[in-house]
Amino acid sequence: MDDPGTALDAAAFVALLVEESGDRLTVRLHRPEVRNAIDQTMVDELHAVCAYLERTPKVLILAGSAGDPETGTKAIFASGADIGQLRERRRDDALAGINSSLFDRIAKLPMPVVAALDGFALGGGAELAYAADFRIGTPGLRMGNPETGLGIMAAAGATWRLRELVGEPLAKEILLAGRTLTGQDCLNIGLITELVEPGDLLDAAHALADRIARQDPLAVRVTKTVFHSPREIHPLIDNLAQGVLFESAAKFDRMQQFLDRKKQS
């Protein structure tokens, strides 16, 4: 699925539902029959999404399956890795970093990634959400890492991303004692930035994408890269990046528009 072509063919995906607009790509995980468990097909298709967004930088909105009150279907982001496949994996599969390499690629996408979370976001599903730049959730969100209960560890970013996001004591409670967080818990600790009702979840994600889209795209891309750079290369990288932006046409245009508005006010 890591196609070097220039367009993203939404019809080619089977584990994802993909919708593209001018400045963003909305991707829904779509394996409802197994609660959106992340299998190799989904991994391959998400790599294809990443390849496209690396060539054509856009905001990425990641979401799961919406609930349906009429059928009783519950919303879910991702219940974790596909246990049927996971059980058969051996040492070499672990060393290949099947999920960790994907989630790292998502975290390093040029433009921000927004995760819209409802229902279960567990195991690999939680680690996928941790890799996003922003997370928005609902009261029905349930997030955690139950891997140690299955005889393995959360090895796709949780042991370090989660500590950075929520601090060491709580990260250890989630990773070592199997604590599952509610949506309100996630808001209280800053793991999500907004708590909304399920029917408003995608609208809230798009509203955040709208705010990002109002910024200068190059400035957003450069800022994201600098933000995630190692501490030891600051402030050098800050100055170099600012030097690039100081020469951009958008800097002159946007600052002149600001000065013009100030004169008119």
The pLDDT tens digits of the residues spanning 211-231 come to 999 999 999 999 999 999 999
Q: Around 209, how many Cα atoms within 13 Å sit in the side-chain half-sphere?
A: 24
Q: What is the pLDDT of residues 22-51, one digit of tens each?
A: 999 999 999 999 999 999 999 999 999 999
Q: What is the pLDDT of residues 153-187, one digit of tens each?
A: 999 999 999 999 999 999 999 999 999 999 999 99
pLDDT > 60? residue 5: no
Share above pLDDT 90 across residues of the chain, in percent, rounded to a whole number: 85
pLDDT category of residue 6 using cuts at 50, 70 and 90: low
Do 211 and 133 meet the contact criterion of CB atoms below 8 Å apart? Answer: no
Do 195 and 137 meet the contact criterion of CB atoms below 8 Å apart? Answer: yes
CATH architecture, domain 10-214: Alpha-Beta Complex (3.90)
The amino acid present at 229, given as its one-letter code, is S
Mean pLDDT, the chain, whole residue set: 94
More confident site: 91 or 158: 158
- Global pTM value: 0.93
Burial 103-115 (b: 16+ CB within 10 A, else e): bebbbebbbbbbb
User: Which residues of the chain form CATH 3.90.226.10?
Assistant: 10-214
